[in-house]
Structure 1
């Protein structure tokens, strides 16, 4: 009887531990009318973003994940596809992470070379990304992204180290409609030009605009929706973008 009770207790403990691990595993779905990132219109077609992640701590600050973007229709004869891997630590005030970005929408040659990590030929790009928020009372956020390996090369194959720096300020918070304004620049730390601009300048203003967001009631559920007006002066482009996270 004692052996049976001991076995039952062991199974219960293992089941509890397993349940705790499963609670750290999550996935999310985002739908958007286009896909934009730091002043770049990555896809003009509607897209879905799927995030599968695992949290290593109870506060869900430290995460390992894979993010995938896919176009829901073709735009200009191209079908948007992206698979990214990340390891990051985020809080309300600051964050730091490493991203492996693989967007095979515009790759020349074989678009399925997802396992090629040769620095001279890979379609992968490794980014170091971080942000810092000044304070709760003065919510000015600084974003910095630096590419340090892979698909960020000049014509000679040298690493360009394209770097983006952006400022975002929350003008309205916890209102019926929240409002953020943003401004971003880009430059290169290596030889060549950064990929955020038109490829003719070492330093560019590549991003400015505003984002409004609110919760929209849908069948008794508050659906978070945001609308962004974004312009890239260097590329001479602009777009209105709508996004929602379903779960």
Structure 2
């Protein structure tokens, strides 16, 4: 799977039927959120392989202050590549109410970004989280049976279950992933690595193939 400007985040040859739509949000959409977007695409591709379920996944990112058309920051691009992602043809986009409302799951880089998303889409609370918050909640929420939910329904159901677990943790500064813009390459690498770690428990749920689960032998 790859995400390019003219396909809106769909895999090549993707159908236009039901999709799971994921949205990552940061400030300028040139460092943190594009890294999250492209790492998610890479993780989905590895997990689902040639399954047709891969064609039903759409991943986008946006910035609350983005300059549309900007390229990913070079240090972040290199950090992304090191982690197995691809920045080819990436172009920044500005966060809009339509993007926020159409996403099944919105993952932001900071609490401030989350508030900006909710300002545009107040009804999206149950599916809007900081990325770090969502990763932490994944260890607290009841995710049983979620891997058997159809891929195009799973993100919204995951959001509901993460939201149900919110009362079990306290939000705070640790929910924010700092902006590496203007920092040295090592800072971009550290931020990208943190994003990668936070994505993994979520990807493990979102991109488990229903087909492989149903085909697995039943233990004796």
Global fold match (TM > 0.5): no
Which has a greater percent of strand?
A: 1
TM-score (norm 1): 0.22
TM-score (norm 2): 0.24
For the pair shown, the structure with the greater C-alpha radius of gyration is: 1
Higher relative contact order (CA 8 A, sep 6+): 2
Which has a greater percent of helix?
A: 2
